[in-house]
Amino acid sequence: MNFSFRDRLRGGVLLAALIAGIGGAQAQQKIELTYSDWQLAQEVWGKSLKDEIAQFEKENPGITVKTEPVPLAQRDVRFTTAIRAGRGPDVFALDANPVRQYIAEGWVRDLTPFIAKEGPDFLKDFYPISLAPVTVDSKTYGIPMNTVAMVQVYNETLFKAAGIQPAKTWDEFKVNAAKLTGSSKPGGPKDRWAFALVMAPAGFDLRVSSIIRAFGADFLTPDNKHSALETPQFKAAYNFILDLVKDGAIPPGVSQVDANGSRRMLANEQVAIKIGTTWSLPEVSAMNPKLDGWNTLKMAPMPVVAGTNPAVRTTLFQKSIFINKNTEHAEAAWKLTKFLTDKQRMRRWFDDNAMLSSRISVNADPKIANADYARIISAEIEKGAFLPLIPQWPAILETFRQSLQAAAAGSKTREQALADAHKEIEAILARP
C-alpha cells in the first residue's frame, strides 16, 4: 500500500501529538512521598503533623504525602530493614540516638548540596548544638526540628498534699519518694507510687541516662573509647535506681514500662513523678483531661548529689528530619523536609505540643521565652548533652538496659550484671 507525502505527514503529526500527550500526562502525574514518624501515632502530635502535611500538599499540588506511623520501639528495626532492601519511607524522623549509625551505614542522604542551594544563611538560625548530631565531616545529613532537655515532671497537687517540694538532691528525692508512695485513700491498699521508671526500650535512653548524668556519671569515657560503668559515680547511680525498685517506690512490672506507659501512670495519678520534658504537658493532659495537666503538672531540674554541681546533669533530646538514600524523589523530599522544619511549623510544634524549637528565632518569641516550663527547659539545655554520638551507641545502650533489667529482676546480682555489661561494652568499642 502506497501512502502519499500528505498522508505520511499527517501520520507523523498525529504520532507526535500522541507522544506529546503521553508526555504531558506523565508530567501531570503526582509524586507520592511517604513520611514516617513515631509521633504520627500520638493523639496531639499526630493531629499537628497531619494538619501541616495537608497544608504542604495544598501548597505543592504536584506532591502527595502518605503518612506512616511507626511505634518508637519498632522504628529502627523497620527503617533499617526496609532501607537495606532498597525501600523505606522517603522522609522520616529520628531522635539523636541512632543518627550516627544511620550516617555511617549510608542509610540517609547527604543534604549538603540542597542546603548550598538555599544560600549561606540557611543554617544560621539553628543552635550550633542542634547541628552536632546531624553533621559529620562538615556534611549535614538531617535538619533539626526540636531540641529539649529532660527534667522532673511532677504532679503539684500530690506534692502539696504530701507537704513537699521537688527534690534538689538525690537524698531529698528518696525522702520524697517515701512520702509519695502509699494509698490514694486513707486506709486503702497501696495504689500510688512515687516514680515511673522507664525500663522498656522505648524511652529508656533519655530517662535513665538523665539519672546517671545527674549523679555526675556517664556511660563512656570522654573520648568514647572505653566503658565508664565501673566508676564510683556510675555505681552510685546504678544502685540508686535499683534501690528505688527494691524499696517499692516504683510500680510493679517496671521492666514493661515504656515512655508512653510512664505518661499514662502520671495521667492517672498512679505516680507523682516521671522524667520527661515539655511534651509531657499536652500528651499527659490528653490521656486524662480531668487531671488538668497544663496547670497540675510542673517541671524542675534533675536532682544532683548533695554538694556537687556536675557540668552535665541531664540528657538532651532532639528530633530531626532525614531523607532516605533510596528515595526516587529527592527534590520533593527536600521540599517536605524544609517545610516541616521552617519557622511557621516550628511555632505550631510549640503551640500544640509545647516543644521548643531547634531554631533560635522561634524560641526568642516572647510567648515562648516567657513560659515557665520553656524557661526551665531552656536553662537545662545548657547543662545537658546528647548521648554518645558514635555508631556503636545503640548496641551499647541495649547492653546496659538488659543488665539493669537483669539486676532489677534478680536474675543476676547487681555486681555481676554491671560487670558483665562493662565487659561487653568494652568488646563493642574494640570492634573494628
24 assigned to some structural domain: no
Residues 157 and 304 placed together within one structural domain of the fold: yes
pLDDT at 17: 45
Residue 213 burial by Cβ neighbours in a 10 Å radius (0-12, 13-18, 19+): buried
21 assigned to some structural domain: no
Residues 358 and 233 placed together within one structural domain of the fold: no
Maximal C-alpha separation, the chain: 106
Residues 51 and 131 placed together within one structural domain of the fold: yes
State the average pLDDT for the chain: 93
Residues whose CB is less than 8 angstroms from the CB of residue 73 and which lie 6 or more positions away in sequence, other chains included: 200, 201, 202, 258
pLDDT in tens, 261-293: 999 999 999 999 999 999 999 999 999 999 999
340 assigned to some structural domain: yes
2 assigned to some structural domain: no
pLDDT at 28: 56
7 assigned to some structural domain: no
Residue 18 has pLDDT above 60, yes or no: no
Please state the rounded mean pLDDT for residues 386-410: 96
User: Which of residues 378, 398, 414 is at a domain's end?
Assistant: 378
Please state the rounded mean pLDDT for residues 73-98: 96
pLDDT at 29: 76
pLDDT at 387: 96
292 assigned to some structural domain: yes
70 assigned to some structural domain: yes
Q: Which cell is 363 given?
A: 524560641
Among 11-20, 29-38, 300-309, the minimum mean pLDDT is found in: 11-20
With pLDDT > 70 as the criterion, what percentage of the chain qualifies?
A: 94
Nearest to 378, CA basis, from 294, 321, 316? 316
pLDDT at 198: 97
Percent composition of the chain: helix, strand, coil (DSSP 3-state, to 5): 50, 15, 30
Residues 214 and 334 placed together within one structural domain of the fold: no
Three-state secondary-structure class, residue 80 = helix
Please state the rounded mean pLDDT for residues 376-391: 94
Domain count, the chain: 2
Higher per-residue pLDDT: 60 or 16 = 60
Please state the rounded mean pLDDT for residues 200-206: 94
Residues 47 and 124 placed together within one structural domain of the fold: yes
In terms of DSSP bridges, do strands 139-140 and 135-136 run parallel, antiparallel, or are they unpaired?
Answer: antiparallel
Residues 139 and 162 placed together within one structural domain of the fold: no
Q: Can you give the residue range of the structural domain that contains 257? A: 151-315+388-430
**Residue showing cell 552510685:** 236
Q: Say how many C-beta atoms besides its own lie within 10 A of residue 14's C-beta.
A: 10
pLDDT at 369: 92
pLDDT at 334: 98
Q: What are phi and psi of 417, to 5 degrees?
A: -60, -45
pLDDT in tens, 321-364: 999 999 999 999 999 999 999 999 999 999 999 999 999 999 99
Three-state secondary-structure class, residue 339 = helix
Q: Say how many C-beta atoms besides its own lie within 10 A of residue 165's C-beta.
A: 13
Which range among 23-32, 40-49, 154-163 has the greatest average pLDDT? 154-163
User: Which of residues 355, 378, 401 is at a domain's end?
Assistant: 378
Q: List Cα–Cα distances, 264 to 19, 123, 166, 349, in angstroms.
A: 60, 37, 20, 21
User: Which of residues 335, 354, 378 is at a domain's end?
Assistant: 378
171 assigned to some structural domain: yes
The confidence band for 33, taking pLDDT boundaries of 50, 70 and 90, is very high
Alpha helices in 215-298 (DSSP H): 232-246, 259-267, 280-287, 293-296
pLDDT in tens, 132-142: 999 999 999 99
Cα–Cα distance measured from residue 381 to residue 313, given in angstroms and rounded to the nearest whole number: 10
Residues 190 and 308 placed together within one structural domain of the fold: yes
CATH number reported for the structural domain that contains residue 351 in this entry: 3.40.190.10
Residues 75 and 167 placed together within one structural domain of the fold: no
Residue 203 has pLDDT above 80, yes or no: yes
CB-CB contact of 264 with 253 (8 Å): no
Handedness of CA 293, 296, 301, 305 (dihedral sign): negative
Nearest to 143, CA basis, from 387, 359, 365? 359
With pLDDT > 90 as the criterion, what percentage of the chain qualifies?
A: 90
Residues 142 and 157 placed together within one structural domain of the fold: no
Length of the chain: 432
Residue 121 has pLDDT above 50, yes or no: yes
Residues 142 and 179 placed together within one structural domain of the fold: no
Residues 169 and 248 placed together within one structural domain of the fold: yes
**Residue showing cell 494538619:** 51
Residue 80 has pLDDT above 60, yes or no: yes
Residues 282 and 210 placed together within one structural domain of the fold: yes
Please state the rounded mean pLDDT for residues 24-33: 69
Residue 13 has pLDDT above 50, yes or no: no
pLDDT at 432: 85
Cα–Cα distance measured from residue 91 to residue 330, given in angstroms and rounded to the nearest whole number: 9
